[in-house]
């Protein structure tokens, strides 16, 4: 069930040129450090650029696609604004033209009068000729009667000839009717041809409008830095994609169902340029074409002698330690190893959003290739040395479950009691078994086919049969466990000799953070400029208003009382009156 890769610690220093382990192209679990290497694919860094240019003829109705500055440089698009302040030309006098019109009208009246007189004369002569014809007809009838009595046999023959002539006339009439019908059919066919030309013109206009709409959308996205290939016509797109794929030397996963092929190729776009070329005065160029719209696209590509990296997605397994659950901290999201040159390449989760490693072997954005990474945590893990550069972080989720091929990695706070449930595919019923299965706190388990593992807080179904290589375990202390469905990882992770488990955040700082998280925030003090939000604001306002009303009432009473007191006047003797007396 498992493939074991044993790390041999060689004592000869001369043999330790590259002490790291070459990971196989499969899922790997590093047991002593609780790190899952989920194999993705082989990756080739982009080291060159391939360009591809598309030229699109422009007509006058496509001028709105280009910026105003470019419109001024294309004569077919530039429309200068007319000067509205120009004065109108002076009006000419109509005296001479009026006289000419009167003369022409008089001449026309004279000619019409002369024609009327001639028509009256012709009518008189026609009546005279009609009378003569009537007399001649009567004479002819008389002669015909005489001939009938004299030549009865010839009249019978003439009657037969008359019938033949009538039949011939009817035949000629039918032929004429057929000719008219054929003429009508010909006119209808001509109308259908004109209607077909009109429909063809409208269809061409509609297709041109649709193509122009898609072109406008594509150009707007390009100008907004959303690179795309939507401006290429759908008839030319297969050949363009084939040419770009062969030029970039990129391989795609044939079993991928996430995105269409054109989207994968669009993800290789690095930059796009839009150029407007004026019309050339060549005799073979159509007069409706005013310019050429040129779009140059640049794609990330690889060389034939490309360097390949084995990409792995890193997933640390949490485990109980010191009363809390911890795991490896500050690990890259995806790493790539070059086994030949011992180089490293890595992505964070945000950097890998523009890449689809499971569908294509190249990414548009490639991070720097690290040649000297001996002072990193990844190097110490692969070298199976003491993890002095690795740190741990607290994992707060109570349950960790992750599939690894056919196996499952499970991590909980403590051991878990589970029961196996067998699913019958024919009877469509569940058969419960009483075999109790105890899972360690951190374990790697295998569930038999058609079986569901039901635990206290979770349940796991059997994983589908994998088509790739089996899971590999990196540990020198695990031997002969091919028949075991459960591997206890906790006993290996709890060892502190090679992994001191230094915290990513110190204990003192973590205590401060926990204190801040547990301490309730102080009550919010409302600002003074918002008195209506205070709880006793309305009561205080009412108290102030009542106080002001009372003060006003007291002031009014004081003034009223002062006005009701009578005024007492004392007349004092003056000096003059005293002297006179």
pLDDT digits (tens, 9 = 90+) for 254-298: 777 778 888 889 989 999 998 887 776 655 556 678 888 889 999
Overall number of domains in the chain: 2
Please check whether residue 278 lies inside any domain of the structure: yes
Please check whether residue 576 lies inside any domain of the structure: no
CA distance 138 to 140: 5
CA distance 397 to 316: 13
pLDDT on residue 510:
65
Whether residue 237 is found in the same domain as residue 156: yes
Q: Classify residue 484 by burial, with Cβ atoms within 10 Å: 0-12, 13-18, 19+.
A: middle
**Termini Cα distance of the chain:** 149
H or E segment to which residue 401 belongs: strand 400-404
Instruction: Name 437's bridge partners.
Output: 418
Whether residue 279 is found in the same domain as residue 328: no
CA distance 144 to 138: 10
Whether residue 292 is found in the same domain as residue 262: yes
pLDDT on residue 5:
43
Instruction: Name 474's bridge partners.
Output: 5, 30
Q: How many CB atoms lie within 10 A of CB 546?
A: 10
Whether residue 476 is found in the same domain as residue 423: yes
Q: What is the DSSP letter of 285?
A: S
Please check whether residue 435 lies inside any domain of the structure: yes
Please check whether residue 413 lies inside any domain of the structure: yes
Whether residue 112 is found in the same domain as residue 189: yes
Whether residue 43 is found in the same domain as residue 53: no
* Residue 217: C-alpha distances to residues 44, 85, 168, 296 (Å): 33, 39, 72, 17
Whether residue 242 is found in the same domain as residue 328: no
Sheet holding 429-439, edge to edge: 429-439, 416-424, 451-455, 459-461
| Structural domain range at position 193 | 49-77+103-301
Whether residue 175 is found in the same domain as residue 310: no
Whether residue 361 is found in the same domain as residue 286: no
Choose one of 233, 267, 301: the last residue of a domain: 301
Please check whether residue 90 lies inside any domain of the structure: no
Please count the CA atoms within 13 angstroms of the CA of 442 that sit on its side-chain side: 21
Is the C-alpha dihedral spanning 370, 373, 375, 381 positive or negative?
Answer: positive
Please check whether residue 514 lies inside any domain of the structure: no
Angle at 299 between CA 293 and CA 300, to 5 degrees: 165
pLDDT on residue 95:
64
Whether residue 320 is found in the same domain as residue 439: yes
Query: Residue 41 contacts by C-beta under 8 Å, 6 or more apart in sequence?
Result: 253, 311, 357, 358, 361
Please check whether residue 575 lies inside any domain of the structure: no
Residue at token pair 């591997």: 487
Choose one of 241, 267, 301: the last residue of a domain: 301
Decide the pairing of beta strands 269-278 and 48-58.
unpaired
pLDDT on residue 59:
80
Choose one of 493, 525, 551: the last residue of a domain: 493
Residues in the chain: 581
323: left (phi over 0), alpha (psi -120 to 50) or beta: left
Decide the pairing of beta strands 324-328 and 319-321.
antiparallel
Residue at token pair 């001479």: 96
- Those residues of the chain that have pLDDT short of 50 are 1, 3-18, 81-82, 84-85, 570, 572, 574-581
H or E segment to which residue 126 belongs: helix 95-150
Structure tokens at 581: 């007396």
pLDDT on residue 580:
42
Decide the pairing of beta strands 451-455 and 459-461.
antiparallel
Whether residue 280 is found in the same domain as residue 419: no
pLDDT on residue 576:
44
pLDDT on residue 570:
45
Whether residue 290 is found in the same domain as residue 315: no
Please check whether residue 315 lies inside any domain of the structure: yes
Structure tokens at 316: 């640390």
Do 494 and 441 meet the contact criterion of CB atoms below 8 Å apart?
Answer: no
């Amino acid at each position: 069930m498992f493939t074991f890769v044993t790390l041999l610690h060689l004592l000869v220093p001369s043999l330790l040129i590259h002490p790291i382990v070459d990971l196989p192209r499969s899922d790997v679990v590093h047991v002593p450090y609780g790190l899952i290497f989920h194999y993705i694919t082989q990756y080739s860094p982009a080291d060159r650029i391939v360009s591809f240019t598309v030229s699109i003829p422009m007509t006058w109705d496509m001028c709105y696609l280009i910026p105003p500055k470019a419109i001024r440089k294309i004569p077919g698009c530039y429309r200068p604004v007319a000067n509205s302040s120009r004065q109108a030309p002076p009006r000419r006098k109509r005296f001479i033209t009026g006289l000419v019109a009167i003369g022409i009208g008089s001449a026309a009246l004279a000619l019409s009068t002369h024609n009327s007189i001639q028509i009256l004369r012709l009518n008189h002569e026609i009546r005279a000729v009609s009378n003569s014809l009537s007399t001649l007809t009567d004479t002819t009838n008389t002669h015909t009667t005489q001939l009938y009595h004299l030549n009865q046999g010839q009249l019978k023959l003439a009657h037969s000839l008359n019938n033949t002539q009538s039949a011939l006339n009817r035949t000629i009439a039918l032929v004429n009717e057929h000719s008219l019908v054929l003429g009508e059919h010909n006119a209808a066919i001509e109308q259908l041809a004109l209607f077909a030309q009109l429909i063809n013109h409208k269809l061409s206009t509609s297709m041109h409008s649709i193509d122009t709409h898609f072109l406008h959308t594509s150009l707007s996205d390009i100008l907004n830095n959303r690179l795309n290939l939507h401006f290429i016509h759908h008839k030319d797109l297969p050949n363009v994609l084939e040419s770009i794929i062969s030029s970039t030397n990129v391989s795609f996963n044939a079993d991928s169902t996430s995105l269409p092929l054109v989207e994968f190729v669009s993800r290789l776009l690095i930059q796009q340029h839009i150029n407007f070329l004026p019309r050339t005065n060549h005799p073979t160029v159509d007069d409706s074409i005013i310019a050429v719209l040129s779009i140059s696209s640049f794609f990330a590509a690889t060389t034939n002698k490309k360097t390949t990296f084995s990409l792995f997605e890193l997933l640390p397994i949490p485990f109980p330690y010191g009363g809390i659950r911890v795991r490896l901290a500050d690990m890259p999201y995806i790493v790539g190893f070059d086994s030949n040159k011992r180089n490293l390449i890595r992505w964070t989760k945000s950097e890998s959003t523009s890449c689809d490693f499971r569908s294509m072997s190249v990414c548009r954005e490639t991070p720097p290739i690290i040649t000297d990474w001996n002072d990193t945590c990844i190097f110490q893990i692969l070298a199976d040395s003491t993890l002095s550069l690795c740190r741990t972080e607290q994992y707060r989720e109570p349950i960790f479950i992750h599939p690894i091929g056919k196996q499952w990695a499970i991590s909980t706070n403590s051991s878990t009691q589970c029961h196996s449930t067998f699913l019958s595919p024919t009877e469509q019923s569940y058969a419960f078994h009483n075999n109790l299965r105890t899972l360690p706190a951190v374990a790697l388990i295998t569930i038999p086919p058609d079986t569901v593992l039901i635990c206290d807080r979770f349940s796991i179904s059997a994983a589908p049969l994998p088509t790739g290589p089996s899971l590999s375990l990196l540990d020198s202390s695990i031997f002969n466990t091919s028949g075991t469905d459960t591997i206890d990882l906790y006993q290996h992770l709890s060892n502190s000799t090679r992994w001191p488990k230094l915290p990513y955040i110190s204990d003192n700082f973590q205590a401060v953070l926990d204190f801040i998280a547990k301490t309730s925030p102080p009550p919010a003090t409302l600002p003074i400029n918002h008195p209506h939000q205070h709880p006793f604001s309305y009561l205080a306002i009412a108290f102030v208003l009542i106080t002001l009303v009372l003060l006003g009432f007291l002031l009014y009473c004081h003034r009223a009382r002062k006005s009701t007191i009578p005024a007492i006047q004392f007349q004092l003797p003056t000096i003059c009156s005293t002297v006179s007396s």
